[in-house]
A and B are shown apart, each in its own frame.
Chain A
Amino acid sequence: MTLFLRWGLPGAVVVACVGYLIYSASGGAAEYYVTVSELRAHAPAGDVRVAGVVQDDVQKSDGLHVMFTEKDGTASMPVDYRGTLPDIFKPGITVVVEGRLGTDGIFHARSLLAKCPSRFSTQPYTS
């Protein structure tokens, strides 16, 4: 009984606190990670992250504002983003945009990440 009161109870309290912190934080901070077609099918509420390929219609109005179309296999959507672009940003690469789809049908991105072309390999060599 003393063993439980001295060690078990405080231990259980710590474990419960960790559990509560994880539960409450993931409720508020988790975002859906979807493809363009999934977003088109049913858009989850709140901010989402959408992965897709940048198409050829990239328009830069000044150094920081960019509009382009993001597409996966079947669906596409226009993206509007203001901020610094990753170094490797260009048509053909896969990007992950974070933000929400506006009522105007345009995805307003808060952040834009490029998928790095892997640290472990560039392109497999085929001769």
Chain B
Amino acid sequence: MSVPLLHAAIHVVILGYLGAGALLAALVMGGFSALLSFWSGVRQDETFIQVGRRAFYAAATFAFLSAVMLEVALLTHDFSLAYVVEHTDLSTPTALVAAAFYGGQEGSLLYWTVILGVLGSASLIASASLGGRVAAYAGGILAAILSFFLFVLAVVASPFELLSVAPPDGLGLNPILRDGGMLIHPPVVLAGFASFAIPFSFACAALLAGRADAAWITHTRRFALFAWSLQTAGLLLGMWWAYHVLGWGGYWGWDPVENVALMPWLATTAYLHSSQVQERRGRLRLWNFGLVITAFLLVVFGTFIVRSGVVPSVHTFAISAIGPWFLGFLVVCLAFSAVLLTFRSNLGVEPGPAPAVSREGAFVLQNLLLLGVVAVVMWGTVLPLVSGMFGLQRVVGAPFYERAAGPLLAAILALLAVGPLLPWRHAGRATVRALRWPVAAGALALVFLLIVGVRAAPALVAFPLAAAAATTALTEYARAAVRKPRSILRKRRRYGAYLAHLGLVVAVIGFAASHFGQQEKDVSLQPGESVTVAGYTLTFAGSEQRQLADHTELVAGMRLGDQTLEPSRATYAGLGGQAVTHVAISTTPTADVYVVLAGTNLDGSATFRVFVNPLVIFIWAGGTVIIMGVVLGNLGERSAAVELARRRIPVTLPA
């Protein structure tokens, strides 16, 4: 008997204390790095700038070590740690035990911190071109953010909390999370959230140092692109997961949790476009700082909203002590950036007004529209909080977002068709001529839809605009292919962006078709009976019970043509016999047949909810193309600033 006890005691000492100790060491190094970086930045002391930077690397390393401790504790089922008990049990598959690392509140914060440490270190290593001062301030701000997270982890929400008596088994992972999606969606989304801190730190550092030149745009843009791509992937994976797991037939519910992930993405989308105005025309400098800062503030705001339980959500999050800390952090970040932007507003002096009908004008309009969507989503998210202060709480659902954001999204789609054709500085008659193809494509699509019998106004707006936007991107490709095929590779950033535009159009077609064309039916069937939804006939073949390792499954067979769909309900012995629906989806290029087993009845019949969702596969395909366009367009691409400088060299050389 004494051996297992000794074994457990060693576990407590090694993992619990070492993990907590590593966190404390990281916090000390982080705080040291923050102070030293600012101080040496002001004094422009190159030696101490280096020391401050290395302290940041040390903090990141200690944070990583504590993450390793937590992961080892999870994998060895060390039930002396409360976190391990609350999120795993002995029957949980190993991959999901490993994933429980970011499945809980404390662990997800630790994961976030580690990503921040790694990306922060990478950004500091890559910042040589910015000059010591900007890099020192950026390191200081990064270290301060890292220290805040480490403080919360070490003091408020420690993943290394010990139980006085280690139980023989844990509580297990929530069955809804026992899915392959758990292995990829949360780490991508959390890494996306964490990565917005890097552009923010460099923006604030450039403001502090009083520099608004092209070098910081190049550097910031690279990390903003990285954050944006991660967030795009995270949003897509989230939609994909919700669609395949939750069984309500949709992929986006406008829940606060989804909204707060969308807002920083929108703000960064705006920045990625407007930063080109600064690169090419030297305009919108202050505006660009503002967008980068806004994106990060939205991340902090979102974390506060989601983790504090101040707004009603379908997800009731563990109401924990970290809410007020994040609110305080948000206030500090907000005040810091507001003061910086005010005192450095002289950096934003513009070289005289530009004509509004131009590429610049299109970017500004697109920015305003995107921020308009942010405002809509923000209002919908905080309305319960605001209205609750003045009386009964009010909430909004999907109709609000559709009515308020729909017209803005349509305008953005229209701009997607027009914007790329507008030249910098001034648009003339050539632009009007170039517009004939997208306009013709839009008109053709409209006529086609009217002939087919579509009468819903939103659909009649969305599809023709999508056709026009796709035509714009395709004509740009065609023009390049005819004149200079090699320019597609050489100017790959531009043509990568058009590829992303095309991907967006494909995704929009998927969104619009599945939104306007979804059909659903609730039905109870005896074995042998059929139901027809939107031309798809499903026949109920019968149901059976299956006993699996950690749960039992009630599986129904539904024949659709020559294939059999098997929607099921799994019941887990742990967690009070909680049941989980497993949706069965048959995907074709034109539509998804989506079958949910609601339950079986005493008379032998089974109850189903059947959805037919047109063109959902377009969303996943389009999303993948967007990310491909951005990645391919920016791999090994020289920045526009460097490109301009390179081209100017012959001009300045003596003849």
Contacts and interface: CB of A to CB of B under 8 A. Distances in A.
B449 interface: no
A63 B579 contact: no
A77 interface: no
B411 to A, nearest CB: 9
Contacts of A11: 364, 368
B522 A83 contact: yes
Contacts of A122: 86-87, 171-172, 174, 575
B620 to A, nearest CB: 23
A50 B457 CA distance: 33
Interface string A1-23: 01100110011001101100110
B403 A33 contact: no
A114 B315 CA distance: 9
A18 B163 contact: no
A38 B174 contact: no
Q: Of residues B105, B316, B524, B601, which shows the largest number of chain A Cβ atoms within 10 Å of its Cβ?
A: B316
Contacts of A94: 316
A96 B248 CA distance: 16
A85 B176 CA distance: 15
Given A14-B368, A26-B404, A119-B317, A124 B86 contact: yes
Contacts of B383: 26, 30
Contact of A18 (B86, B318, B408, B579): B408
Contacts of B164: 127
Interface residues of A, number: 52
Interface in B364-386: 364-365, 368-369, 372, 375-376, 379-380, 383-384
27 contacts: A6-B355, A6-B356, A10-B356, A14-B372, A15-B368, A21-B372, A21-B403, A21-B404, A21-B407, A21-B408, A22-B376, A25-B403, A26-B379, A26-B380, A26-B404, A28-B403, A30-B394, A33-B312, A33-B384, A84-B248, A87-B580, A96-B312, A116-B176, A116-B314, A122-B87, A125-B85, A127-B165
B392 A32 contact: yes
Given A118-B318, A119-B103, 14 more contacts: A21-B407, A21-B408, A29-B397, A29-B399, A31-B397, A34-B393, A51-B312, A64-B524, A84-B248, A87-B569, A87-B580, A88-B578, A114-B314, A127-B163
Interface in A77-127: 82-85, 87-88, 94, 96, 98, 113-125, 127
Interface in B617-635: none
Contact of A62 (B163, B248, B524, B609): B524
A71 interface: no
| Binding site secondary structure of chain B | mixed
Contacts, number: 178
Interface in B404-421: 404-405, 407-408
B86 A125 contact: yes
B171 A125 contact: yes
Nearest to A21: B404
B372 A18 contact: yes
B348 interface: no
Nearest to A6: B356
A26 B400 contact: yes
Contacts of A121: 86-87, 104-105, 318
Contact of B601 (A33, A63, A114, A117): A63
Contacts of A96: 312, 314
A3 B361 CA distance: 12
B607 interface: yes
B528 interface: no
A64 B86 contact: no
A83 B384 CA distance: 26
Interface string B298-334: 0000000001000010111110000000000000000
Interface of A: 2-3, 6-7, 10-11, 14-15, 17-18, 21-22, 24-26, 28-34, 38, 44, 49, 51, 62-64, 82-85, 87-88, 94, 96, 98, 113-125, 127
Contacts of A87: 176, 247, 569, 578-581
B215 interface: no
Contacts of A15: 368, 372
A31 B86 contact: no
Interface string B587-600: 00000000010111
A43 B82 CA distance: 44
Contacts of A117: 174, 316
B474 interface: no
Given A18-B408, A64-B607, A122-B174, A33 B394 contact: yes
B485 interface: no
A44 B392 contact: yes
A7 B350 CA distance: 13
Given A87-B580, A118-B317, A119-B177, A31 B355 contact: no
Contacts of B522: 64, 82-84
B525 to A, nearest CB: 10
Nearest to A124: B86
Contacts of B314: 96, 113-116
B353 interface: yes
Contact of B365 (A10, A83, A127): A10
A11 B356 CA distance: 10
A17 B164 CA distance: 60
Contacts of A10: 356, 365
Contacts of B467: none
Given A30-B394, A31-B396, A122-B86, A115 B365 contact: no
Nearest to B248: A84
A9 B399 CA distance: 30
Interface string B554-588: 00000000000000010000010011110000000
B552 interface: no
A62 B601 contact: yes
A3 B316 CA distance: 49
Question: Which of B354, B395, B596 gathers most chain A CB within 10 Å?
Answer: B395
A48 B379 CA distance: 19
A35 B369 CA distance: 37
B70 to A, nearest CB: 15
Contacts of B82: 124-125
A47 to B, nearest CB: 10
B108 interface: yes
Contacts of B609: 84
A120 B598 contact: no
Contacts of B526: none
A82 B601 CA distance: 15
A88 B318 contact: no
